[in-house]
Amino acid sequence: MRQPEIYILGGYQTDFARNWGKEKKHITALMRESVLGALEVTRLDAKDVEVAHVGNFAAELYCRQGHLGAFFLEADPAFEGLATSRHEAACASGSIALLAASAELEAGRYSLACVVGVEQMKTVSSVEGGDYLGTAAWYEREAKGVEFPFPKLFGRLGDEYERRYGLKDEHLARISAINFANAKLNPNAQTRTWTMNERHALCRTEDNAPVGGRLRISDCSQVTDGAVAVFLATREAAERYAQRRGLSVERLPRLLGWGHHTAYLRFDDKVRSSEGSPYVLPTVRATITDALRRAGVRDVSELSAIETHDCFTTSEYMAIDHFGLTAPGESWKAIEDGSIELGGRCPINPSGGLIGAGHPVGATGVRQLLDAYKQIAGQAGDYQVEGARRVATLNIGGSGTTSVSFVVG
Amino acid sequence: MQLPPAAPSLAADPLLQQRPLQHVVVLGANGTMGYGSGALFTQAVPKVTFLARTREKAEQGLAGAIRQVRSPTVADRVRCGSYEELPEALASADLVFEAVTEQLELKREFFERIDAHRRADSIVATVTSGLSIDALAEGRSESFQQHFLGLHFFNPPNVIVGTELVPSRFTRPEVVSFVERFSDKRLGRRMVLTNDRPGFAGNRIGFKLLNEVAQLAEEHGVALMERLVGPYTGRALTPLATIDLVGWDIHRAIVDNIHALTQDEAHDTLRLPGYMAKLMEGGTLGRKSGGGFTRREGKERWVLEPKTGRYLSPSEIKLPRLDFIAEVAALHREGRYREALAVFADAPGDEAALARRVIAGYLSYALHRVGEVTEELSGIDRIMGFGFNWAPPGVLIDWLGPKVAAGMIERAGLPVPPALTAAAASATPPRFASERHDNPGRYFVAA
């Protein structure tokens, strides 16, 4: 049976530089601004939306608030009665919400879905927030009593590359510098006004303090408040949408393929299970190849760009060879030859990624999809990849545990 | 130092390609605006020269720049020197950025020296926040005048992106468009093209409100005014705390200058309150002198009583019930900005009326300045939003609704701008705020 087509009608991202705690706002305000913003840019009517999904990691911890689906009704009274739910898979929460929405559309239950990814993280100190993030690992065994557990886990991803293939800090610094440089082109990026460059990333002083093993501040993604809303539609709803706006439905970006797998929660178990594989995280590799296969994409050479999960420079380093831009263990080649820069063979994170644009945990997967959409629709402004035709995303929860990839085109 | 290549979108920009800036010379690099701007230039220009009276002072500026942006890498692109090295530095300067003390004669002396040694195609920019660009260009060579303009960054430039660009009547249009594009695309600025009027756009409109609140504090008290024109009205920092932060002397210089050189419908609101002048004689300058409208006493914050010059302890300050502020803030907290402003517009009581008078004054004054300080309201909106971090007038009008906004101005006894009168009468009023996707909710703090 031919897979029903899923269309992306557009969406809205809040400015990730905002600190909603300083504004003294509740998480409902974040959701509300993203949903109303998305309705405005797409000129869709709230009453046409049939189902809504929220991706969020830990509002119970950060904001002492659960049951986020119900907050759709606070955005517009026309949402009263809407079918809503909330999804969690750590930093992949946003993509899980997208998968759930697209599955329902494919099943023919609904024709128009709204997906919101949202996280408000600046409600607590960085140490306390780091502890909350530890629940995305096996908390008791890997995070309890550990200050900033995640940089340490992803530092160990670097160590594993070092052990198997060798790894140089200068390549990680370059990844950091490219993401920060791209972020300067993105008006919604958290770090767009920051002073960051390759020399800073190479600093081995307190200006760039170590946070976990080989990783330093410049290797890390940001603590971010943000929300992103997008609309997904069936072919039928997309045709209606296009017709009313005088657009061609064939030119609307679509979700061409998806991949989704889960590995052991503990980092040690993942590494043990991948012994003998050329890939350090084989389930991530399977997620990517599934997405490419379902999209009918032969390999990475048919991608115009990638929005990947650079929660740390080591995770982007991993993504480079797992996407097949280089042979396993040779990610450094694509860094050295400029392949992943804007203007390169396959730019990675034109938006600035999680390091440059920011990482509101539950919103990231949806932000990646919206940026992929913008690339295909030619709406990415200064970070536009010229003539982008297919863009892949990779969103990872935990230390490489739950991974989701989409191909948009 | 290896840098990622400029993004293709920028590399292809013919305007930016026209003048690849390789060397910027900063004069007055030891001052906060000098080194703050200097740090900004290092983000996009390979060589930045910091000049001050002595090399040591320039080096202090560099240290300040490093502290401000928290990156020692700034030093990679900076060399420091004294003004004796000015001729040599100017020989290769593509842009000369003047940030010396805010005195007309002093700046003119520097411009004379720059004029004598600059390359004919180099751009000269001044960071002045109040002096006339035309007056600064007076007496200079034709080439200097054609390449000279005001580039008014706000302090600190690494945080505040709103920037005014002020051509003189001699400046070549292509110089203006280049600096505008470069500052926008390479320095991440939000640019506002401003006319050469006293205080330009931001300070003219911003300090009018600040000064009016300082005037009203004499009768109504500091604590009440700060509460009434507080964050819930669309600002991160309350008005009198802002004056304390910028310094009373700076505040006086700005409002005196505007008051002396302009005549407009709100002229009296720009007269410095007498109590401020008196207290300044005793050394009160705001934060830098240890106190202004408020002063720290141990763990408490004591508040100035303008009439007596005394500071009142928290237990001596009695504020009336201000339930409407709590109600407005609660709606902001949920992101219901329009509803919040509707509550503000309808709130009963003298205090609410006083708060509305100040906001109405802001809207009326801003709209009356369109055509004088900027060509469009969008420029004023941008500088109030990105320079002052205040809700832009256009956003307030859109969310109040033009009819409500016009009524608010009328009830305050202020002139209603014709554009607002027309919009209020229209069945399909135009949108006043023209910038989209700028997250206008950010300005409304739930407090």
- Whether A248 has its CB under 8 Å from any CB of chain B: the answer is no
Quick one: pLDDT at residue B437?
62
Distance of CA A342 to the CA centre of its chain: 18
- Picking from A15, A34, A193 by the largest number of B CB atoms within 10 A of its own CB, the best residue to mutate is A193
Token readout for A176 is 């950091």
Mean pLDDT across the stretch A23-44?
97
Question: C-alpha distances in angstroms, B60 versus A199, B65, B80?
Answer: 22, 9, 9
Q: How far apart are CA B359 and CA B145, in angstroms?
A: 39
Q: How do residues B35-68 score in pLDDT, each as one tens digit?
A: 999 999 999 999 999 999 999 999 999 999 999 9
pLDDT at A71 over 60: yes
Residue A105's H or E segment, with its range, is helix A93-106
B445 contact residues in A (CB cutoff 8 A): 22-24
The count of other CB atoms within 10 Å of the CB of residue A246 is: 6
Q: How do residues A369-406 score in pLDDT, each as one tens digit?
A: 999 999 999 999 999 999 999 999 999 999 999 999 99
Weakest-pLDDT range from A63-67, A176-180, A198-202: A198-202
Token readout for A152 is 């340490």
Token readout for A378 is 């030619």
Cα atoms in the Cβ-side hemisphere of radius 13 Å centred on A111:
9
CB B409 within 8 A of CB B419: no
Q: Are both B185 and B228 inside the same structural domain?
A: no
A185 contact residues in B (CB cutoff 8 A): 7, 9-10
- Whether A345 has its CB under 8 Å from any CB of chain B: the answer is no
Distance of CA A227 to the CA centre of its chain: 12
Distance of CA A343 to the CA centre of its chain: 22
Residue B1 lies in a domain: no
Distance of CA A201 to the CA centre of its chain: 22
CATH number at residue B298: 1.10.1040.50
Residue of chain A whose alpha carbon sits nearest to that of B39: A195
Q: How far apart are CA B175 and CA B171, in angstroms?
A: 7
- Whether A337 has its CB under 8 Å from any CB of chain B: the answer is no
Q: Are both B185 and B257 inside the same structural domain?
A: no
Question: C-alpha distances in angstroms, B123 versus A165, A392, B140, B193, B367?
Answer: 51, 44, 14, 17, 33
pLDDT at A1 over 80: no
Q: Are both B341 and B250 inside the same structural domain?
A: yes
Quick one: pLDDT at residue B436?
66
The count of other CB atoms within 10 Å of the CB of residue B421 is: 16
Quick one: pLDDT at residue A3?
74
Q: Which of residues 360-389 of A touch B (CB under 8 A)?
A: 381-384, 386
Mean pLDDT across the stretch A336-362?
98
Q: Look at B76 and A25 and tell me if their CB atoms are within 8 Å.
A: no
CB A108 within 8 A of CB A3: no
Token readout for A238 is 């997309």
Quick one: pLDDT at residue B39?
96
Token readout for B34 is 């000098």
Radius of gyration for chain B, computed over Cα atoms and rounded to the nearest angstrom:
23
Token readout for B237 is 């920092």
Residue B92 lies in a domain: yes
Q: Are both B22 and B88 inside the same structural domain?
A: yes
Token readout for A102 is 């697209």
Q: How do residues A230-257 score in pLDDT, each as one tens digit?
A: 999 999 999 999 999 999 999 999 999 9
Q: Are both B230 and B173 inside the same structural domain?
A: no
Question: C-alpha distances in angstroms, B367 versus B165, B166, B254, B405, B409?
Answer: 20, 20, 20, 12, 11
Q: How many CB pairs under 8 A join A and B?
A: 117
B38 contact residues in A (CB cutoff 8 A): none
Q: Look at A33 and B445 and tell me if their CB atoms are within 8 Å.
A: no
Token readout for A345 is 């063979």
Q: Are strands B47-52 and A254-262 parallel, antiparallel or unpaired?
A: unpaired
Q: Look at A381 and B161 and tell me if their CB atoms are within 8 Å.
A: no
In CATH, the architecture of A6-124+223-244 is: 3-Layer(aba) Sandwich (3.40)
Q: How far apart are CA A276 and CA B318, in angstroms?
A: 74
Cα atoms in the Cβ-side hemisphere of radius 13 Å centred on B389:
20
Token readout for B216 is 């009203």
Mean pLDDT across the stretch A304-328?
98
Q: How far apart are CA A405 and CA A186, in angstroms?
A: 22
Q: How far apart are CA B260 and CA B252, in angstroms?
A: 12
Length of chain A: 409
Question: C-alpha distances in angstroms, A367 versus A151, A255, A309, A343, A360?
Answer: 22, 14, 11, 22, 9
**How many helices (H) and strands (E) are present in chain B, helices listed first?**
21, 11
Q: Are both B163 and B233 inside the same structural domain?
A: no
Instruction: Report which of A294, A354, A356 is spatially closest to residue A117, judged by C-alpha positions.
Output: A354
Closest CA of chain A from B331, distance in Å: 9
Report which residue type is found at A84: T
Residue B346 lies in a domain: yes
Last residue of a domain, one of B193, B223, B245: B193
Bridge partners, B304 (sequence order): B311
Residue B332 lies in a domain: yes
CATH number at residue B80: 3.40.50.720
Last residue of a domain, one of B193, B219, B239: B193
Q: How far apart are CA A386 and CA A343, in angstroms?
A: 8
Q: Tokens 């590359």: give the residue.
A: A161
Q: Look at A24 and B441 and tell me if their CB atoms are within 8 Å.
A: no
Closest CA of chain A from B30, distance in Å: 20
Angle at A27 between CA A25 and CA A29, to 5 degrees: 65
**Which residues are CB-neighbours of A28 under 8 A, at least 6 positions away?**
A71, A74, B334, B335
Q: What is the ipTM of this complex?
A: 0.96
Picking from B74, B158, B441, the nearest residue to A33 by CB comes out as B441
Report DSSP state, residue A382.
G
A382 contact residues in B (CB cutoff 8 A): 7, 9-10, 185
3-class DSSP state of A274: coil
Quick one: pLDDT at residue B130?
87
Q: Tokens 């607002």: give the residue.
A: B420
Q: Are both B188 and B137 inside the same structural domain?
A: yes
The three-state DSSP-derived secondary structure of A246-303 is CCCHHHCCEEEEEEEEECCCCHHHHHHHCCCCCCCCHHHHHHHHHHHHHCCCCCHHHC
Weakest-pLDDT range from A96-105, A116-125, B67-76, B270-279: B67-76
Picking from A74, A192, A200, the nearest residue to B334 by CB comes out as A74
Mean pLDDT across the stretch A84-88?
98
| Residue range of the domain that includes B71 | 8-193
Q: Domain count of chain B?
A: 2
Mean pLDDT across the stretch A35-52?
97
Residue of chain A whose alpha carbon sits nearest to that of B158: A193
Residue of chain A whose alpha carbon sits nearest to that of B10: A382
3-class DSSP state of B162: strand
Below-50 pLDDT ranges, chain B: 1
Q: Look at A381 and B335 and tell me if their CB atoms are within 8 Å.
A: no
Q: Are both B218 and B359 inside the same structural domain?
A: yes
B336 contact residues in A (CB cutoff 8 A): 32
Quick one: pLDDT at residue B1?
41
Q: Look at A195 and B334 and tell me if their CB atoms are within 8 Å.
A: no
Q: Are both B272 and B416 inside the same structural domain?
A: yes
Picking from A26, A178, A188, the nearest residue to B4 by CB comes out as A178
pTM over 0.90: yes
Q: Are both B171 and B253 inside the same structural domain?
A: no
